[in-house]
């Protein structure tokens, strides 16, 4: 499954379980940050612990999908400050500045907990690199860890043979793409899923074309020769279909041009014939 709707959050669990899931995910994230602070006490992490305290955790239990969507929609570029009563009580500028970073990290945790799929427009918490590294490692999700490790700014060792100049862009785009999907492990890549994925990301009009989608799935399937062979067949088939589609459009265009040319030629011939006939009559 892939969420290709730019602004839509897809929730994978029932409404009545959503608030509790956000509570549990927030708790996990706070524990990761707390442990990280023992060895790396960055100011943004300290502020996260102050802002997202027990009061915040209790608040999330009552959240519905509408509440969650309202909060997460404020994570977009240019969305301004959080406009919710809970955040209004935070007056300290440094503490307010970490709100969006924490909630972006929370989206990654909720994705790993199979609670939601983010929209393609979601922006990653790249400014919280230490916390993002620690969060990815804490999930034990090999795909998530490897994609994050690909980034030059990550402390996680990277496994894939990618040039240094390409690593940052690919890692960021692949991670954004990953949390739009339910690809949690290699077993997620059935033939049907791969066909759906390739068709969803293929072509210039795709919302995912800038995210190196085919390289993304190839990197994840590294070592899984059965699925890689299947992927190659699917991509080849899609290429053939796209080529046929392009040729059909080109042929149709040529036919239309030919018809127009015939009409114009007919009109011109008719005019010339009329002129010749008139001249003959005058003589």
pLDDT tens per residue across span 60-105: 887 888 888 888 888 766 555 556 656 666 666 777 778 888 889 9
Sign of CA pseudo-dihedral 233, 239, 240, 242? positive
Q: Quick one: DSSP state of residue 2?
A: B
Packed helices 213-220 and 164-178: angle between N→C axes, nearest 10 degrees: 90
Q: Which of 160, 171, 148 is nearest to 221 (CA)?
A: 160
pLDDT score, position 275: 59
The pLDDT of residue 262 is above 60: no
Residue pair 3/118 in contact (Cβ under 8 Å)? The answer is yes
CA pair distance 170, 148, nearest whole angstrom: 10
126 three-state secondary structure: coil
Q: Which of 86, 129, 74 is nearest to 105 (CA)?
A: 129
What are the residues facing 116 on neighbouring strands?
11
Q: pLDDT for 40-70, tens place per residue?
A: 777 777 777 777 777 777 778 878 888 888 8
Residue pair 52/32 in contact (Cβ under 8 Å)? The answer is no
Global pTM value: 0.75
Highest mean pLDDT among 79-93, 150-164, 175-189: 175-189
The pLDDT of residue 276 is above 70: no
**pLDDT bucket at 112, cuts 50 / 70 / 90:** very high
3-state helix, strand, coil in the chain (%, to 5): 65, 0, 30
Q: Which of 184, 134, 126 is nearest to 151 (CA)?
A: 126
């Amino acid at each position: 499954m892939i969420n290709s709707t730019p602004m839509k959050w897809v929730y994978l669990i029932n409404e009545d379980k959503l608030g509790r899931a956000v509570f549990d995910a927030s708790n996990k994230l706070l524990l990761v940050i707390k442990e990280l602070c023992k060895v790396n006490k960055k100011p943004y992490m300290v502020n996260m612990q102050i802002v997202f305290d027990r009061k915040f955790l209790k608040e999330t239990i009552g959240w519905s999908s509408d509440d969650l969507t309202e909060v997460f929609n404020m994570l977009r570029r240019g969305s301004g400050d959080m406009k919710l009563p809970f955040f209004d009580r935070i007056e300290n500028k440094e503490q307010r500045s970490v709100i969006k970073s924490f909630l972006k990290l929370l989206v990654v945790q909720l994705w790993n907990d199979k609670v939601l799929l983010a929209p393609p427009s979601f922006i990653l918490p790249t400014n919280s690199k230490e916390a993002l590294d620690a969060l990815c490692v804490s999930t034990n999700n090999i795909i998530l860890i490897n994609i994050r490790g690909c980034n030059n700014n990550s402390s996680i060792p990277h496994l894939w043979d990618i040039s240094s100049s390409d690593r940052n862009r690919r890692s960021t785009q692949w991670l954004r793409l990953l949390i739009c999907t339910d690809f949690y492990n290699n077993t997620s890549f059935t033939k049907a899923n791969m066909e759906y994925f390739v068709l969803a990301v293929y072509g210039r009009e795709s919302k995912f074309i800038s995210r190196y989608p085919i390289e993304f799935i190839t990197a994840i399937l590294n070592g899984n020769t059965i699925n890689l062979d299947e992927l190659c067949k699917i991509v080849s088939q899609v290429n053939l279909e796209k080529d046929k589609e392009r040729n059909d459009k080109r042929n149709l265009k040529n036919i239309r041009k030919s018809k127009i040319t015939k009409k114009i030629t007919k009109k011109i011939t008719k005019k010339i014939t009329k002129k010749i006939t008139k001249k003959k009559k005058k003589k």
